[in-house]
Amino acid sequence: MAGILVYALHDDEGNFNKNSLGAISEASKLASELSSEAAAVVVGDVADDACAGLGAYGAKRVFRAKGASEGLAQPIVDVMAKVIADEGFTYALFGGGLLGFEIGAGLTARLNAGVTMEVTEVKVQDGKLVAVRPVLQDSAVVDVGYVGEPGIIIGRLNAFDTNEVDGASADVVDVDVDLSEWSTKARMITRGEQRGADVNIEDAEILVGGGRGLGEKDNFKLAEDLADALGGAVAATRAVVDAGWYPYAAQIGQTGKTVAPKLYLAAGISGAIQHKVGMQNSESILAINKDPNAPIFEFCDLGVVGDLHKILPKLTEAVKAKKGG
Amino acid sequence: MKICCLVKEVPDAAVQKRIDSGTKRLDRSGEKNLNPFDTHGIEAAMQIREGDVAEVDEIVAVTMGPESAVRALHKAVALGADRSVHLTDETLAGSDVCATGYALAKVLESEQPDLVLLGQQSDDGECYTIGAVVADHLKMPSLTQVIKIDVADGKLTCERQAEYGYDTVEVELPAVISVGDAINEPRYPSLKAIMGAKKKALSTHATSDVGIESDQVGESGSKTQVLAINPPPEKQPGEIVEDEDTNETVEKIVAWLDERKLL
């Protein structure tokens, strides 16, 4: 039977990733239109109850591979390729994130299958799935169909909303998989290491986001002073987190947090897709950047083309004066 | 140790990109450049060579693309590659990710590298995927979006950011690693290197030279099909202010914030 198989990513405590749950809900919705089944794959020793609980998001069956470990893509490619072959799934669907890209790409090679990534919407057309994907910095949107089976769909972060149905429970099916030789040649030493202070940005109503345009680590002080004046917190892009300028806990985007504050003030942030997906639902977006061609100017509400080193200190003073007065 | 760096020619960032509505492919005419992410891959190879742990015999730049892609190879050689390989064939035009990954794997097979490095994404299209496609065809371990590589005893220790924080992963060679832009600051090529780049060995292969099945590549060998191209959802464009007088600019920002009751 046809069906849609979803990879359900989880952390070391067995908590499933929100984007994976969204992908299961999406698969469930599509499967009912196709009169087929949505199912999920889980790797590692995740408890029966937790696996069965994916039924609440629409998974009818959960294939659990205890023999494969979570966190590295290639063993999971082995698992999913086997389940797809044995059970005849016609699509594999992934929520946003890094592992989904890697597993989906591996399956493409393994199964000689078409892949579409950064997908924001999936449609049913003539009994088949069509992936909708923005391209060229979101300046166009293409509909992509699949030739042959299976089709692999890798969602953009936050593309699929979770939809919980009370009481539903999935059948848990344990699967044994022989790992490919090359899948055993990468080994996780440490997973999910937090770097930098544990800051909370998700509860802030106002966020000042700092990017490479700040120039150097010490200039985050400019963003912090402004955030203090506004009564908000400071967030960061992946580039500056990787560079060690700011804590990982403050990172927005693809492999960081997703936020939707009342105000997002982007200071020296170009607005690459990987960042945009984590903050585009903010109520108001104000961008300050010296590059007039920065993509952020395409989706902000107020864009200021200028030198943030000149603007931020004066803005901080003006905000303080206004609030004090 | 032999390192192959996959590189790609992409439209220059400053050039307006568009999709040809007839062929439904990216219009790749206009100014071209070496994909900026791939320069980090070449730099990573150079740093392994210059480090004192691994002996690097050769760094080979490899690309697939039309005749013009030779310029990306020249740039890669100017940045430090010893020679380059160009896979070019009319039958490859219109290849999707599946077909491109297969074709690149075949040309890499003919080189037998110990390490394949590439940028984590290209400026113009496919995100994050090609490295993992190539790796599975080559039956090699792989990791993407790597921001630190240490080499020792035929193994790499790599760091990268994933969904829950930073992962440290040990990878046995041979392997395929895609790198993020945080891994290094690519050097500028010297004038001498730029001038000398065209003199370095460049081998050109057609699909049949490296055993590529022609029915697995190109538009007809692809497993995806672009059905339609549409404009993005309408969004009211925001107001743009040029900062000429900073005091005035700040006044405007404060008024804008105040209007939205954000102060």
* A178 and A66 assigned to the same domain: yes
Same domain, A27 and A146: yes
CATH number of domain containing A317: 3.40.50.1220
Whether A118 contacts chain B with CB within 8 A: yes
Q: Does A189 touch chain B (CB under 8 A)?
A: yes
Beta strands in chain A (DSSP E): 3-7, 37-43, 61-65, 91-94, 114-119, 121-125, 128-135, 140-146, 151-155, 171-174, 186-193, 206-210, 233-236, 263-267, 284-289, 302-305
Partner B contacted by A197 (CB < 8 A): no
Q: Which residue of A has its CA nearest to B262?
A: A263
A11:B164 CB<8 A: yes
A277 and A129 in a common domain: no
Q: Which residues from B are below 8 Å from A136, CB to CB?
A: 17-19, 26, 124
Residue A59 falls inside a structural domain? yes
B223 to chain A, closest Cα gap in Å: 4
A51-104 pLDDT, tens digit each: 999 999 999 999 999 999 999 999 999 999 999 999 999 999 999 889 999 999
What percent of chain B lies above the pLDDT cut of 90? 84
pLDDT for residue B15: 60
Q: Is residue A221 part of a domain?
A: yes
Residues A23 and A171 in one domain: yes
State the CATH number of the domain containing residue A136: 3.40.50.620
Domain co-membership, A299 together with A178: no
Measure CB to CB from residue B163 to each of A97, A106, A323 and give the nearest one. Answer: A97
**B165 lies in some domain:** yes
A164-214 residue pLDDT tens? 987 899 999 999 999 999 999 999 999 999 999 999 999 999 999 999 999
Q: φ, ψ for residue A304 (rounded to 5)?
A: -115, 120
Yes or no, beta carbons of A297 and B171 under 8 Å apart: no
Residue among B144, B161, B243 whose CB faces A305 most closely: B243
Give alpha helix (H) positions in chain A. 18-34, 48-52, 73-87, 98-111, 220-230, 238-242, 273-279, 308-324
Q: Report the pLDDT value the prediction gives residue A1, as an integer from 0 to 100.
A: 56
Q: How many domains does chain A have?
A: 2
Domain membership flag for residue A170: yes
Q: Does B256 contact A191 at a Cβ distance shorter than 8 Å?
A: no
Domain membership of residue A97 as a residue range: 3-184
Q: For residue B258, is it within any domain?
A: no
Min Cα distance A165 → chain B (Å) is 26
- Successive 10-residue mean pLDDT values, chain B, 263 residues: 95 68 72 90 97 95 96 96 98 95 98 97 78 98 96 96 96 97 94 94 97 96 95 86 97 97 94
A134 shares its domain with A267 = no
Query: Is residue B236 included in any domain, yes or no?
Result: no
Residue A125 forms part of a structural domain:
yes
H or E element that contains B194: helix B191-196
Cα–Cα distance, B145 to B136 (Å, whole number) = 17
**pLDDT: which is higher, A324 or A279:** A279
- For A268, the token pair is 């020296």
Q: What is the DSSP letter of A176?
A: -
Residue B179 resides in a domain = yes
As a whole number, the mean pLDDT across chain A is: 95
Q: How far apart are CA B159 and CA B168, in angstroms?
A: 5
Do A174 and A224 belong to one domain? Answer: no
pLDDT computed for residue B21 by the predictor: 74
Q: Specify if A268 maps to a domain.
A: yes
- pLDDT higher than threshold 70 for residue A8: yes
In angstroms, the Cα distances linking B169 to A96, A182, A256, B27, B113 are 21, 14, 19, 38, 21
Residue B54 lies in a domain: yes
Domain match, A179 and A216 both = no
d(CA B223, CA A144): 10
Number of domains in chain B: 1
Tokens 């009564």: give the residue: A231
In a domain, A223, yes or no: yes
B243 in any annotated domain: no
Shared domain check, A13 and A58: yes
Check CB contact of A117 with chain B, cutoff 8 Å.
Answer: yes
pLDDT of residue B12: 74
% pLDDT > 90, chain A:
94
Contact at CB, A140 and B145, closer than 8 angstroms: no
Q: Is the pLDDT of residue A263 over 70?
A: yes
Model pLDDT for residues B127-165, shown as the tens digit of each residue: 789 999 999 999 999 999 999 999 999 999 999 999 999
Same domain assignment for residues A93 and A180: yes
ipTM at complex level: 0.93
Range of the domain at B187: 2-221
**Predicted local confidence at residue B257, as pLDDT:** 97
> Sorting pLDDT into bands at 50, 70 and 90, what band is A139?
confident
The pLDDT of residue B33 is 86
Structure confidence at residue B17 (pLDDT): 63
Q: Which residues of B touch A16 (CB under 8 A)?
A: none
- Judge: B254–A315 Cβ closer than 8 Å, yes or no: yes
Q: Is the peptide bond before A295 cis (omega within 30 degrees of 0)?
A: no
In a domain, A124, yes or no: yes
Same domain membership, residue A152 and residue A9: yes
Element (H, E) at B106: helix B97-109
Same domain, A249 and A155: no
pLDDT for residue A325:
66
Per-residue pLDDT at B232 = 86
A247 touches chain B (CB under 8 A): no
B contacts of A147 (beta carbons < 8 Å): 222-225
The CATH number for B208's domain is: 3.40.50.620
Q: Give which of A58, A56, A51 is closest to A171, Cα–Cα.
A: A51
- 3-state secondary structure (DSSP) of residue A150: coil
- The alpha carbon of residue B15 is apart from the nearest alpha carbon of chain A, in Å, by 11
A301 contacts in chain B (CB < 8 Å): 238-239
A267 occurs within a structural domain:
yes
* B161 belongs to a structural domain: yes
